[in-house]
Structure 1
Amino acid sequence: MDKTNETLKNLLDANLYSRYSGLLSLSNISLQLIDTNGQILLEFNPSPDFCKFICQEDETRICSDYNSRLEPGKKLRFNCRYGLANILLPVEINNQTIGYVVGAQVYSTDSEYQKYLIDINELAKEKELAPEFIAKSIAAIRTIEENKIEIHEQICNHITQNISYDFSQSINTADKAIARLSIEKEMLEKKIIDLEAKNMSLLINPHFLFNTLNSIARIAYFEKSHTTEELIYCLSDLLRYNLKQDDELHTIGAEIDNIEKYLYIQKIRFKNRLEYEIDIADNIKPYRIPNMIIQPVVENALIHGITPKRDGGKIKITAEKYKNDINISVMDNGNGFPKEVLQSLQDSENKLGIGFRSTDNRLKRYFGENYGLKIAKSDYSGSTVTISIPTKPNARR
């Protein structure tokens, strides 16, 4: 492996996403961190399905349009072969490029017409995908006003500079955490003021909420209240993830990261009455699933399985790949679902089953009738709920 890319991977940490959640709430346009070979290391905001499944040869790597433009130290804004606006910004340490922040992947109002020039049938034949899937992916690509793209570019610039500072401090400074928090606070406050002045249409409530939570987390850090700090970061991430109502496909890894934060908060609440285990292989995490699919299932296991037991219990989440399918299992050793809850899942008039039915319907809408949600087991020894999805998007047809 390239020494530069190894350096970048070693510098990544679990809180990198959390530190920018306040700023990311200003924009839900694609934003990712990649290494110098085009490997996607972290998705701050996911790319559109069109880019992920059609333009990229591998879901873990950026497309060839980006790859051909990777040059050390070079900042770039360009339109890809299909007319989407893209941003490319180098992450540098000591004048050496160790990675890039990339993003946008949207149409501007001037380039939107190019989506109608894409030959869907030819592309379907080339990529061996269903034409209906490609048509839906193209239709889902967002069109953004030019000033909004410019604001997103400024956000990308700020995050790139701050990541560069983060990593350089990690290498050169023993007291990296306090220095990073100080410079981030100053730069973030200045940038937020600039962005608000340029575009008053930005939503202030989520921005205010996440920024306030992160400020409280910093206070907790300096007061050495590390559990409080971690709880606040987890809550901030949970709120932000739950607000993503774009109904796009997210990675299983992103879903599991969200679940870990949810269970961490619940563990603080229930203490010894709740144990949990997540066993998801790395090769499964890049596959895509509709957002907020797993969390309601885990929440049901906690409410109906663990909470009623005096001594609590354990929730375990596993996943396995078999041929062209992936099965995700949420297991608990509670008392099983109450009879009325099980009955409600087949009763369309009973509101108790709406959550499970809507989750099942979402999966079927994306992937077809062969996929969805199933209660594999529910008795006094516990419950097991399985979520089945295909490994390839065209398996839905």
Structure 2
Amino acid sequence: MITNGKEPHVNKIRVGIKKLNNLLSLAKIPLQVATQTGHILVEINPAPDFCKFVCQKSSSILCDTCVSRLQDKNNSDFFHFSCPFGLYNFAVPIFSPKDYPRLYLIGGQVYSEEAQYHKYMIPVDKLAKEKGLSTAVIAKTIGQIDTMEMPQLEIYERMSKYIAHNLSESINTPNTTVARLSLEKELLEKKIIDLETKNSFLLVNPHFLFNTLNTIARVAYFEHAAKTEELIYCLSDLLRYNLKQDNNLHPLSDELENIKKYLYIQKIRLKNRLNYEIDIPETILQHRIPNMILQPIVENALLHGITPKHDVGLIRITAEQQGNSYFIYVSDNGYGFPDEVLKSLTERDFSKIETTTTKSGIGLLSTNKRIQYFFGSSYGLSIKHSDFTGSTVCLFLPVK
């Protein structure tokens, strides 16, 4: 059995793993490099104690289920499977020279969220008797098995494919140039995986947030705090709409409902210092736009137009259609755009806005880019009016 680390391919695997330390620090999942016969060569992240004490023949040999899957000729590429106790596993081939044993990167050994009920069906007493262990030890090892959502598991699978690819390079490359990975590439991959992992948690966190907000709203209802209840429901709807990150077009009416909730919350905050009007013809309301197109414009009008005023501020949203195109106007009675932003917008030189540090410029730049991404360079935004009496931003859009 190969466990002493003296064999050339084991040394190369260890060198390859060392080169991937930055990436592997993100892998919060059991990972082992093993031969097709189930012998564990390198344990990158340890398997759960349940697998070691109950399923594996020894600490250096995989369980029978995993070995049988590795030796299945139909599983020559990446594959995943569940063990008899419901744990999720996957295997990625590591391509090596002909004189080496066939190698795999084995990962998983966790419960998916959909399958975690299996842990409550494990016959603890029977296993304790078979393995000569106390029921307390078996129960403890079961409790230590991690549970993950499928989006997170899929991210770790992609990470493992990248690791296996680089280990293949390490084994197949001469010693003088073993695993010469670019530092920039390593750092980039680390950033990508890190961002993907963080984004996967967003699939969970909003549900928790919305449920919490709704619970608070119900408490406000029973305490007869009607305004507080309405504010919380508005915020919940606002967050839900803002988290739509798709490339679909949505009715303008949906965008305006979102804007109304945003302005309602701001009016409660600013009290008598803010008024707003929305007057859009019915024929325009069903035209389709990307979500969150109006939000940066309205937010800019509020932050840079209305907030600095000491008297009453007004935001108006209107629209008109001309043939197969239409215009949306967002107006305020503030103090106008900063000179550097206004000059760039008037000249339609959006490249200069990228170098400004003003939030208003960056928000307008992003909105213009999104409009042109969806509809082409003929469309976008412009400044119809801006001086000490206020500003009007115009969005030029096609009928969809």
TM-score, length basis structure 2: 0.47
**Bigger CA radius of gyration:** 2
TM-score, length basis structure 1: 0.47
